[in-house]
Amino acid sequence: MASGAKLIRTTSRLRKVAAFTAGVSGTCYGFYYVCNTHQLVDWSSIGIIRFGRAFFTAASIVIDYKTSLMWKDVNSTGINELYSKIHLRSAEKLKKLASLNGGVFIKAGQHIGALDYLLPQEYVSTMKVLHDKAPQSSLQDVKKVVEEDLQCKIDEVFSSFAEEPIGTASLAQVHKATLKNGEDVAVKVQHPKVKDYSDVDMNTIEFLLQMVARIFPEFKFLWLSEEMRENLPKELDFIMEGKNSEKLDNLLGHFKFLKIPKVYWEHSTKRVLTMEFYSGGKVDDRHYMVSNGININQVTKNLGKLYSEMIFVHGYVHCDPHPGNVLVRNSPNREPEIVLLDHGLYQALTDNFRLNYAGLWLSILAADVNGIKKYSQVLGAGDMYGLFTCMVTARSWESVSAGIDKQSRTQSETEEIQQFVSTYIPEISQLLNSIPRQMLLLLKTNDLLRNIEFSLESSRSSSSFINMSRCCVRAMTDHQLQSSKSIRQRVNIHIRRHVTLLKITLYELYLWVASSSAVTKLRALCRFDIFLLNR
């Protein structure tokens, strides 16, 4: 009887969804016909059209899941294959929706595409293409935005302005130009209508996610809309983006390999950002690095240094390091340089969160299960500390408990994690809704950095774990020094700090020796033995 009543309620819900969908879609296509026939307006920018298209897509996905899984036993043979097919169909529908609506919808799709090992692989792999396939505004629209904001004709500022953009993203596109004084610059221009309908799109996304949460109580993805609602206004303000880049340059200017484009403030507004022009290859393009003689392991090592210091030492993090935003090139003296672009999305970490996160990573790197449990619970994971740690590291619990630095991730472990994600979607969803909002962007950043490192196939000796360990130790000991009350305490803290950093350096040397050729290894071992004898 209970299952029969549940079926009646489900069928009733589906009928209501179908009826409402038909009404909305009918209205949408009516608008579509009128607007296309008379060519008076851009129908894709009308709120009801955009909402109707999104609602129709969401309803279609909900109905697909409900009808395909009706009367299916979750433990039956072939259920994983069925889930995979539904995930893939749904992901394709969402990708099409994002491409049609653009703007905020593409931004949401890109966020999903960056969450490897947190969402089913079908969604992640399908949405990844949105990083390179954002809609392009016409040159006429771009020039109109530039002239409106700079309050002058475009040729009064630039002696040349490239017709084709060198990069297109969800909220803006970038054109190469030349200033009147002959300097080459990159001009980032916001898509004309993206700000106008951003509120409508955000309300639509929130409404649809709430609808999904009511129909599927076990799947709550409200964290996605909350994170976007908070960060979207920041990304739409190019003045804030310029200030972010200057602040990071002040914090990390001691890294000679880091290049952050200078902002030309006299030619910049909230919708137009004129910056120093840099050329280079994408940071995940191994072929480009090999053909240009760029040291791949050095790039990986420097990237690890950069982000470890951002996260653990300064608590000020560039949270969009997808390959299009990180370029590499050789300096005049043949040293690899990293050019960091797009400074619109940053996360400022509180000291309390930063220190607890550093404690978590030190526990993970030491394979200290008790420490992992302690810091995971402090960070909001509760009893799901094992799942949380697997999400943070993208490794299996078996690897975490044995030590993730002991063995590189294998293909079989990758497949195991992907299967794990599909199985535990409700638990992952619950966890993502309970952890601090600061953690969400870090999870995304972690996955993007890991994907870069795996794409480059760098050696373990240049692994980001080494630099992460150093920065975690610095963060924890700096805090201890600030709170210490006696000279004796400070001396002890300094000694522990230097001993720990020495151990990390020796371990890095060990990894380097292990990855060297036979002759180099022999020479290094001799030098290492002499070093130990002289201690």
- Residue 486 burial (C-beta neighbours within 10 Å; 0-12, 13-18, 19+): exposed
Q: Are 209 and 221 a contacting pair, CB within 8 Å?
A: yes
DSSP-assigned letters across all residues of 175-204: EEEEETTS-EEEEEEE-TTTTTTHHHHHHH
Active-site residue flag, 284:
no
Radius of gyration of the chain (CA): 26
Give me 242's structure tokens: 């310029």
- Residue 290 burial (C-beta neighbours within 10 Å; 0-12, 13-18, 19+): exposed
Residue 432 carries which side chain, given as an amino acid letter? L
SS (HEC) of 366-406: CCCHHHHHHHHHHCCCCCCHHHHHHHHHCCCHHHHHHCCCC
Q: Are 178 and 159 a contacting pair, CB within 8 Å?
A: yes
What stretch of H or E contains 18?
A: helix 2-38
SS3 call for 214: helix
Q: Are 108 and 228 a contacting pair, CB within 8 Å?
A: yes
List CB contacts of 531: < 8 A, sequence separation 6 or more.
none
Q: Are 388 and 431 a contacting pair, CB within 8 Å?
A: yes
Cα–Cα distances in Å, from 524 out to 296, 307, 475, 508?
22, 30, 31, 13
- Residue 513 burial (C-beta neighbours within 10 Å; 0-12, 13-18, 19+): middle
Cα–Cα distances in Å, from 23 out to 28, 45, 200, 337, 374?
9, 20, 19, 56, 52
Strand partners, 176: 186
Catalytic residue among 320, 342, 405, 447: 320
Q: Are 365 and 469 a contacting pair, CB within 8 Å?
A: yes
Closest C-alpha among 329, 307, 333 to residue 318: 307
Q: What share of the chain is helix, strand, coil (3-state, %, to 5)?
A: 65, 10, 25
How many angstroms separate the CA atoms of 103 and 100, rounded?
A: 9
SS (HEC) of 451-473: HHHHHHCCCHHHCHHHHHHHHHH
List CB contacts of 446: < 8 A, sequence separation 6 or more.
392, 394
What stretch of H or E contains 437?
A: helix 437-456
Residues acting as catalytic residues: 320
